[in-house]
Amino acid sequence: MMTNEENPVSRREIVQAGAGVAALATAAVTSQPAAAQTGAPERGIRTGTPHPFYDYSAISSRQKLKWPNGARVAVLIVPNVEHWDVKDDKGHMDVRNEPRNDYGLRVAIWRLFDIFAARNIRTTIALNASVCRFYPEIIAAFKARGDELMGHGMTNSERLDTLSPAAAANVVRTAVDTIRQATGERVRGWLGPGLAEADGTLDALKAAGLEYVCDWGAADDQPFRMKNGLYAVPYTLDINDIGLIDRQGTPASQFAAYIVDAFDTLYREGQDQARVLPIALHPFLIGAPHRAPHLAKALDYIKTHDHVWFARGSDILDAYKTAVRT
């Protein structure tokens, strides 16, 4: 809004002039937006559009969701197992960070396997399909453990939102086919590299035979059905070591405390309405020797509670569909 100091015709001048109509007209012209004065089209105010991919649903008005065996909380652990190319698309090497990423695949993932095995926990792996090519020992370990493998692009060096819709859809198809051929197992879920999508990616996921996507899962504490028939399964940007530990410098002890606090809240609420606690991990971070013990302590705390279900993404989806009959 233009102030009196900015407007050459003030209210006092209008009164003193005695020519009310003429002065008001002058004031109206000089106070109009620049676009109107120059003849440029004025863009209207954005009043909002409905969400294109799913409808709004208040958790307070939903039918009560119950997990198998009376569990209040389904704990979904999602290690992101990723391959980064040594050079980026401009030919640059990141020698400072590349070995750290490799530590996750060479050492830390095996430390996490020991932690999960000791607690009888199976996880849902967000898998770059290139891992099937370069790290077959890790794929064999996943299969032996019974972890679920969901698509996570080909590599983490390429995000779908940097590609055309057609190219992004091709990445989806190629990644899913690569995992299926390497493991002989069905791929049911997807998490985009960087949680990124191009236009039409959700439809490409559906066409590739996937059933659920975690990219939009941060919207809820429960799974929900999307407009194209896919389901969103909860995921998190908050209880996520890449955001907290790597980008914010949160100590691993505090990260573990966040896991416990989130669990306590959801466990209390889950007595009435079942919830999902997603925990997003990256082996090179949480699997480091000074951080892994804090994850183990948080998992041990959760395991002391009776009404807890450590579940894979597809297990959660199947239980949800059975419970709400969708």
Q: How confident is the model at residue 251 (pLDDT cuts 50, 70, 90)?
A: very high
Does residue 47 belong to any structural domain of this protein? no
CB 256 within 8 A of CB 262: no
Q: How confident is the model at residue 39 (pLDDT cuts 50, 70, 90)?
A: low
**Rounded Cα gap, residues 162 and 1, in angstroms:** 39
Predicted local confidence at residue 95, as pLDDT: 85
pLDDT, tens digit, for every residue of 190-231?
A: 999 999 999 999 999 999 999 999 999 999 999 999 999 999
**Model confidence at 42, in pLDDT bands (50, 70, 90)?**
confident
Task: Encode 306-317: b = buried (16+ Cβ within 10 Å), e = exposed.
Answer: eebbbbbbbbbb
197 and 77 share one domain: yes
The answer as to whether 58 is a domain residue is no
| Same domain membership, residue 161 and residue 30 | no
Report if residue 55 sits inside a domain: no
Q: Domain check: are 312 and 207 in the same one?
A: yes
pLDDT score of 267 more than 80: yes
Is residue 22 domain-shared with residue 147, that is, in the same domain?
no
pLDDT tens digits along 82-91: 999 888 778 8
Tell me, yes or no, whether 73 lies in a domain: yes
Whether residues 69 and 186 share a domain: the answer is yes
Q: Which SS3 state, helix, strand or coil, does residue 314 take?
A: helix
234 falls within a domain = yes
CATH number (domain holding residue 122): 3.20.20.370
Are the C-beta atoms of 129 and 179 separated by less than 8 Å?
yes
Q: How confident is the model at residue 98 (pLDDT cuts 50, 70, 90)?
A: confident
Q: What is the pLDDT of residue 24?
A: 39
Q: Clarify whether residues 228 and 94 are in a common domain.
A: yes
* CB proximity list for 48: less than 8 A, separation 6 or greater: none
Question: To the nearest whole number, what is the mean pLDDT of the chain?
Answer: 89
At 33 the pLDDT is 52
Percent of the chain whose predicted confidence (pLDDT) is above 90: 80
First-last CA distance in the chain: 51
Residue pLDDT, tens place only, 100-122: 999 999 999 999 999 999 999 99
CB 191, CB 78: distance < 8 Å: yes
Band of pLDDT at residue 76, cut at 50, 70 and 90:
very high
pLDDT for residue 40: 63
The neighbour count for residue 302, using CB atoms within 10 Å, is 20
Is residue 68 located within the same domain as residue 186?
yes
**51 domain-assigned:** no
Tell me the sheet residues that pair with 308.
73
Alpha-carbon distance 270 to 126, whole Å?
26
Q: Does residue 29 have a pLDDT over 60?
A: no
Instruction: Report whether 175 contacts 151 (CB < 8 A).
Output: yes
pLDDT at 6: 42
Strands (E), 26-123: 73-81
200 within a domain of the structure (yes/no): yes
How many beta carbons lie within 10 A of that of residue 305, not counting itself? 13
Identify the pLDDT of residue 326: 58
Residue 128 has pLDDT above 70, yes or no: yes
pLDDT at 37: 55
Is pLDDT above 70 for 165?
yes
| pLDDT score recorded for residue 8 | 42
Strand partners, 212: 189, 231
Per-residue confidence (pLDDT) for residue 255, from 0 to 100? 98
pLDDT of residue 43: 81
**HEC letters along 107-143:** HHHHHHHHHHHHCCCCCEEEECCCHHHHCHHHHHHHH
Give the pair of three-digit tokens for residue 175.
Answer: 């990644």
| 87 and 157 co-located in one domain | yes
Model pLDDT, residue 203: 96
The pLDDT-based confidence of 26 (bands split at 50, 70, 90) is very low
Regarding whether 92 and 4 lie in a shared domain, the answer is: no
21 is in which domain, residue-wise? 1-39
Shared domain for 99 and 195, answered yes or no, is yes
12 and 110 in a common domain: no
- Give the other-Cβ count within 10 Å of 187's Cβ: 23
Number of domains composing the chain = 2
Q: What is the mean pLDDT of residues 297-318?
A: 98
Do 198 and 230 belong to one domain?
A: yes
